[in-house]
Structure 1
Amino acid sequence: MMNEQENNIQDENLEELNQQEPPENQESEEELSPEEKLQLELATAQDRYTRLFAEFDNYKKRTAKERVELIQSASKDVLHKLLPVLDDFDRALAAMQTAADIESVKVGIDLVDQKFRKTLALEGLKEMEDLVGQPFDAEYQEAITAIPAPSDKMKNKIIDVVEKGYFLNDKVVRFAKVVIGQ
């Protein structure tokens, strides 16, 4: 949509340039020699080229600036959404130091964990499903070691997950670190 707007602006500017040529020059062109007419056309074309080049340069600078601002504001939005979770962790840590009942602390930590995971899921983060027993796939997992398979069924399959893998909007942001059977 932005490119379409830019094209419309450039078209309007070209039309304005064409309309700005004084009618006196058009009448006097009949009196000019062919070389002078060509020089005048060349000067007009060069002027248009210079203006278009300047507009394009301004467009590139503006889009680069907008891209940087978008990246900065995106991380700002995510951090703003994570601040309540950080507050909950602070309250849980304070409650742990004075709590006599460990069960209530566990429940509180579970609630903070659920809130944190829900916030990350809303931002597009998705945990890779349970991988144990699945065939090894190098596109999604990283094999850190291979051990003898406990059965023939487990050969070239994942035996253990050392570190979970995650997707962000269906792109791998962290490969799962797994142990495979040989």
Structure 2
Amino acid sequence: MENNQENTGQSPEENNQDKFENLSGEEILNKIKMDGDENTAATDADEGNEGNELLKRLGLSKKDKLKKENTELKQRAEELNDKYLRLYAEFDNYKKRTAKERTEFAKIAGLDVINSILPVLDDFKRAQKQRETSRDLNALNEGVQLIYQKLNNIFESRGLKPMNSIGEPFNPEFHDAITEVPVEDRDMKGRVVDEIESGYFLNDKIIRHAKVIVGK
């Protein structure tokens, strides 16, 4: 500093004074304004650089955030896809298992009915042998009646019930009319006068309509 002052012979304050010494008042004001504008421009430039740097950092931060969200969405989609595939496989196995169980149940149910009827079949065989050797028709008729009752009891124990049709009004929900015949009794007009085949219920569900003759 001392060397500087020795070389120039003036202090910084004296130099500033020399800058304005030969200027008019208006020129001095303009000079001060120009110096201020230069300082402001420099400050604005610095602030602009800082702003650009901040925007740059914000842009990178937003990009990183979007990248992270995209990765998370992909992971979630993969998890949901795996879950769907597992559920689909489980449901497919369930359908196969239930179908197999239904088939096996139907086989077992049919086997149970057949086993219950076999004793009745044995009774019919014995009655047939007895008919070949015995001339007692009354005994044969009683044997056949007993066999019929035994078979009927087996079916009733499984929910089978015969439909009572004779004398009932004709009802297409229960009856299939084979033909119509004239009747003298007016009360029998439109009613079942004879039954060709009996109708049956299984647990209150119609499994066979009765084939009937209707009076007219």
TM-score by length of structure 2 reads 0.66
Which residue, 144, 162, 166 being the options, matches 2:196?
162
Distance 1:39 1:158 in 2: 74
- Unaligned 5+ residue runs, structure 2? 1-64
Q: CA deviation at 1:63?
A: 0.7
Which residue, 108, 113, 130 being the options, matches 2:148?
113
One-letter code of the match for 1:145? Answer: T
1:95 and 2:153 aligned:
no
1:58 and 2:89 aligned:
no
Distance 2:209 2:69 in 1: 70
- Unaligned 5+ residue runs, structure 1? 1-29
Distance 1:50 1:161 in 2: 59
Q: CA deviation at 1:73?
A: 1.1
Q: CA deviation at 1:67?
A: 1.0
1:84 and 2:84 aligned:
no
Distance 2:85 2:116 in 1: 47
What are the Cα deviations for residues 90-112 of structure 1, in whole angstroms up to 9, with x where unaligned?
11111111113222222211111
Q: Corresponding residue for 2:211?
A: 177
Q: Corresponding residue for 1:18?
A: none
Q: CA deviation at 1:52?
A: 0.9
1:73 and 2:113 aligned:
no
| Higher RCO (Cα < 8 Å, 6 or more apart) | 1
Q: Corresponding residue for 1:27?
A: none
Distance 1:86 1:51 in 2: 52
Which residue, 169, 176, 179 being the options, matches 1:135?
169
Distance 1:102 1:163 in 2: 26
Q: CA deviation at 1:140?
A: 0.5
Q: Corresponding residue for 2:187?
A: 153
How many residues are matched? Answer: 151
Larger radius of gyration: 2
Q: Corresponding residue for 2:84?
A: 49
Q: Corresponding residue for 1:17?
A: none
Q: Corresponding residue for 1:24?
A: none
Larger mean CA deviation between 135-144 and 100-109 belongs to 100-109
Residue aligned with 2:94, SS = helix
Distance 2:137 2:192 in 1: 35
Larger mean CA deviation between 103-112 and 48-57 belongs to 103-112
Residue aligned with 1:33, SS = helix
TM-score by length of structure 1 reads 0.78
Distance 2:166 2:135 in 1: 38
Q: Structure 1: which 4+ aligned runs deviate by more than 6 Å?
A: none
Q: Give RMSD over aligned pairs.
A: 1.6
Distance 1:101 1:176 in 2: 35
